[in-house]
Amino acid sequence: MWQMRAVPAELRERYLAEGWWTDDTLASFLEREITATPDLTFRVWSKQHPWSGTIGELYDQAGRLATSLHGLGVRAGDVVAYQVPNWAESVSVIAAGFRLGATMVPIVHFYGAREVEFILRQSGAKALVTVDRFGHVDHIANLATYRDRVDSLEHVVVVESGVEGPALPGALRLTDLLDAAPFTEAVDIDPDAPAMVGYTSGTTAEPKGVIHTHRSLLFEVRQLSMLDPDAPPVLNASPLAHMTGMLASFLLPVYKKQAIHLTDVWDPQEALRIVVEAGVSAGAGATIFLTSLLDAPGFGPEHLAHIRRVGLGGAPVPAAVTQRAEALGIRCFRSYGSTEQPSITGCTVNDPVDKRIATDGPPMLGVELRYVDIDGETDVPAGEPGEILSRGPDLCAGYTDPALTAQAFTADGWYRTGDVGVLDADGYNTITDRVSDIIIRGGANLSAAEIEEVLMTMPTVAECAVVAAPDARTGEHAAAVIRVRPDAVVPDLAAVQAHLESAGLPKQKWVEEVRVVDEFPRTPSGKIRKFVLRDQLR
């Protein structure tokens, strides 16, 4: 379906020769790992939809669901999208799709109708598994508004939340699909085929579909396991309906043969209670998970006894956060990656403290880096900042949009990250800025261009720029720098947020700071120098 990038022959040969790429698939991986330890605890800590059992039970459900989906015509290479919270059903859906050789498309639970419609249409999804209602979002009502415009969508399967509401005509109930016998048919799955397409907000207003193969995802699982091999089980809130959460919250603990503990809503005080009751750690991932725990009322020694080490990444990690945690006896270690290449650099839990808390680590196994001049592709001298170009066995196969692939990847296999970094004398990388126009708020990517497009519809706004501003809690937040029309009333933050809400942007994408300027700093060609604005906000 998609025109994937060509991996240079010499890289492909090296990855195979080193054993970094194998002929394993997600189907064979899950079959081998789960059947070896089927009694591993799997628990969902949820007020709305709790579940407690074993990974083997969920894998059995996945086999039954695979039989039903196969009966509906889902075959290897078909696209199956899912938008389900961190519930047990998510694992059954993911494992069933992989068993059939389907290409899985996770959609985070808070995405609204506009974003979901785009993803379903652009991916060519044949089936969608969705929750009916969760939080303030009525997914059934949203789906009814656009289903007729998604020509590829043949089947909708609904995970019932227990919240009353109208049903979607023609939709199937997931519970009804679990009555089938376990799937036993042999399926020929190509390890080079797309296994998952993760959608991430980019520099344009529409999400970007990032294609990962079985080879790249399975190598990424190995990469993640190297950062802290002896880490205890962790309470995870990263959504399984996102590639990062699917890796860290499901595939990684399966690979490490660890109990899985998930929560569908991040409540810091509830998380602290779970930490003690279940004897697990917490706070890994985006900085907000750790800072919210440290700031929660009642945080004390009984929690520190379990939260001994925390891997941070997915969003900027302020030094003040890691220093605070280290002072409490929590060993922090940072890493850097993206949806396109999840593990580019990373510290391990045993690296020197100054490296763990102040850098993003050395290149991971198999990863190569180049630092080039931001205005071109000339390599910069060692120790000087430059845009990072990376490549490695976990690098994606490109985008669903071939034009984006052509822009982001070179013919010899390098990925233009859009991030600015510097490599120190010891080989440790530190991210210093961003060329690409993305704000990473609590681990979620926000498109500045999308927010700007909505802001420009405000009658008082003559010009605007949305940039990342530092945030002690979320790592970054969106700040709007605006120039108002002559004699217009300057809008305050409340007015700007009300406008964004009325335009249908979810709260996660609202700006949290407004600055007003008479003129913008510009390049000779008239473009706004956003890096100057970011520096001013810092």
Domains of the chain: 24-37+52-215 (3.40.50.12780), 438-537 (3.30.300.30)
Pair 26, 98: CB distance under 8 Å: yes
* Strand positions, DSSP E, 472-527: 475-484, 513-516
pLDDT in tens, 168-211: 999 999 999 999 999 999 999 999 999 999 998 643 457 899 99
What does the pLDDT average to over 343-365?
Answer: 96
DSSP state of 363: B
* Average pLDDT value for the chain: 93
- Interatomic CA distance for residues 347 and 364, integer angstroms: 9
Q: Which of 450, 405, 440 is nearest to 419 (CA)?
A: 440
**Burial of 166 from C-beta contacts in 10 A (0-12 / 13-18 / 19+):** exposed
Kindly tell me if the per-residue pLDDT of 527 is higher than 70: no
Residues 6 or more apart whose Cβ sits within 8 Å of residue 78? 100, 102, 103, 126, 127
More confidently predicted of 526 and 249: 249
Token pair listed for 346: 């990373």
Kindly tell me if the per-residue pLDDT of 286 is higher than 90: no
What does the pLDDT average to over 359-379?
Answer: 90
What does the pLDDT average to over 114-141?
Answer: 95
- Count of Cβ atoms closer than 10 Å to residue 457 Cβ: 10
DSSP state of 240: T
